[in-house]
Homo-oligomer: A and B are copies of this chain.
Amino acid sequence: MSASIDDRSRELLEAENFAHVATITRDGTPHVAVAWIDVDGDVVQVNSAEGRDWPANLRRDPRVTIVVANHENPYEYVTIKGEAIEITPEGADQHIDSLAKKYLDKDEYPFRVEDEVRLKIRVRPDKVRRWGG
């Protein structure tokens, strides 16, 4: 039941706005990560690293809610409910570099940690809802 992303929501996702990514911890409590985000067609993409809590949460339960607020007007935001359909190291380094380009205007991600395995997380939106604005 994949949902398409309306034009204004796509603008918010393509701008340098941060995502709040909510997942479910093993004990059933919600977890929220703050992350960079981008869009690939009708899939949204975030990036994390092996060993962190939230990719582990998504491997156990792929259901995720992502909120992206307009930094210029935080009363406007888009809420995406969906599922992580892919969590992969493949292409994850290139992906974090492209996010560094988007958010920091740097060709390479400057916070790389040695031996860290980055993960590209692709989320299929099932419900997209826009608020305010």
Which residues of A pack against B, CB within 8 Å?
A: 18, 20, 22-24, 28-32, 34, 61, 63-67, 69, 71, 74, 77, 79, 81, 131
Contact = CB atoms under 8 A, between A and B. Distances in A.
Contacts of A18: 69, 74
A74 to B, nearest CB: 5
A31 B65 contact: yes
- 4 residue pairs, one from A and one from B, having the closest CB atoms: A22-B30, A22-B22, A20-B20, A30-B65
Determine chain A's interface SS by DSSP, over half rule. strand
Contacts of A81: 29
16 contacts: A20-B32, A22-B22, A22-B30, A22-B32, A22-B65, A24-B24, A24-B29, A28-B63, A29-B65, A30-B31, A30-B65, A31-B65, A32-B32, A32-B67, A34-B74, A34-B77
A74 B69 CA distance: 11
